[in-house]
């Protein structure tokens, strides 16, 4: 199932993220795709808000990872500056995929074959300065629903 959403403001994207948080469960992995400024971090802010995390959510560009504690532990990665994915393997990064939290991956395409097969995919596209098209799907059969 693929769902398409149209957002007309950053606020609407945050609200969509809050709703998406309600779908997410322990062990879920979410891969975010879309150019710089398409709203990946904004949507993640909304997801975190849905879990009660209101502050400190921003792209972890220089450290690759930020961790937020809530009912679940949220692992927020941003691979924008990643040059060699082998570096991550050496750092034991795949451990997070078997961890007891929710994993949010910006620039997931940089992971190539390291990306776990079972995952949500969120594709974000810029339509105009304040409009974004957001597509959400899951790579496996998975019951979920959102009104948008
Ligand atoms: N509908 C929208 N949804 C999300 N962000 C929007 C929207 N309209 C404008 N923006 C702006 O676009 C920028 C998105 O930045 P960000 O979320 O950091 O993107 P990314 O993480 O994909 O690089 C923010 O400055 C945000 O305020
Ligand atoms: Mg970002």
pLDDT in tens, the chain (148 residues): 899 999 999 999 999 999 999 999 999 999 999 999 999 999 999 999 999 999 888 876 666 889 999 999 999 999 988 888 888 877 777 777 777 799 999 999 998 888 999 999 999 999 999 999 999 999 998 889 999 8
Cβ contact 11:18 at 8 Å: no
How many angstroms separate the CA atoms of 113 and 48, rounded?
A: 27
* Cβ neighbours around 123 below 10 Å, total: 17
| CA 71 – ligand 2 centroid, Å | 23
Instruction: Give the pLDDT of residue 55.
Output: 87
Instruction: Give the pLDDT of residue 56.
Output: 84
Sign of CA dihedral 36, 41, 42, 43: positive
Cβ contact 144:2 at 8 Å: no
Using the atom order of ligand 1, give the atom closest to the CA of residue 35. Answer: 22
Q: What is the pLDDT of residues 108-130, one digit of tens each?
A: 999 888 899 999 999 999 999 99
Q: Ligand 1 within 6 A of 45 CB?
A: no
| CA 15 – ligand 1 centroid, Å | 13
Q: What CATH number did the domain enclosing 46 receive?
A: 3.40.50.300
106 found inside a domain = yes
Sign of CA dihedral 25, 143, 65, 97: positive
57 found inside a domain = yes
Average pLDDT, the chain: 92
148 found inside a domain = no
Quickly count helices (H) and strands (E) in the chain: 3, 7
Domain region containing 58: 6-138
Question: What's the domain count of the chain?
Answer: 1
Q: Ligand 1 within 6 A of 76 CB?
A: no
Instruction: Give the pLDDT of residue 61.
Output: 67
| CA 77 – ligand 2 centroid, Å | 9
């Amino acid at each position: 199932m693929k769902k398409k959403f149209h957002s007309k403001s950053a606020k609407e994207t945050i609200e969509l993220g809050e709703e998406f948080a309600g779908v997410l469960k322990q062990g879920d992995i979410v891969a975010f795709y879309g150019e710089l400024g398409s709203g990946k971090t904004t949507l993640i802010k909304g997801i975190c808000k849905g879990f009660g995390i209101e502050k400190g959510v921003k792209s972890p560009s220089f450290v690759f990872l930020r961790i937020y504690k809530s009912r679940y532990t949220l692992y927020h990665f941003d691979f924008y500056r990643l040059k060699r994915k082998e570096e991550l393997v050496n750092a034991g990064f795949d451990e997070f995929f078997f961890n007891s939290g929710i994993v949010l991956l910006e620039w997931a395409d940089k992971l190539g074959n390291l990306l776990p097969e079972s995952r949500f995919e969120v594709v974000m596209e810029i339509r105009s300065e304040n409009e974004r098209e957001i597509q959400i799907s899951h790579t496996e059969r998975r019951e979920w629903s959102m009104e948008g």
